[in-house]
Amino acid sequence: MVKFGKTLRKLREEKNLSIAKFARSVGMSPTYLAPIERDVFPPPAESKVVRLARALNQDPDEFLALAGRIGSDLRRIIYRQPRHAAKVLRAIDGLPREAIDELVEAARRKSRRGRRLRQA
């Protein structure tokens, strides 16, 4: 299993950033970040994981998953429509990324069309 801290440190080092400079750039202290990078402390809260991901040009959802979390926006969607959310997730499990991208685009078109109809 890939560790959050180890990945965080590897990505930071690939950018040739010291822990002090990186920590300052994301509004954290190096003494807070160092044990996270060593996987001594667990990953930080969602907002901090997202901040770290963006600073390292990583996808926030993938970084949250690496931290063992899901975004609060996704949690709200699941709580609002649990049966349908579960149905969609189970249906796409195992599909190639291209197929999922096509489904997402179709859903976006349908959503835009529905909004236009409601505004008319």
Mean pLDDT of 95-111: 93
Domains and CATH numbers, the chain: 4-73 (1.10.260.40), 81-119 (no CATH)
Mean pLDDT of 81-103: 96
Mean pLDDT of 46-74: 96
**Mean of per-residue pLDDT scores for the chain:** 93
The predicted pLDDT at position 115 comes to: 62
Tokens 């996270």, residue located: 36
The CA distance from 75 to 78, in Å, is: 5
DSSP states of 70-108: --HHHHHHHHHSHHHHHHHHHHHTT--HHHHHHHHHHHH
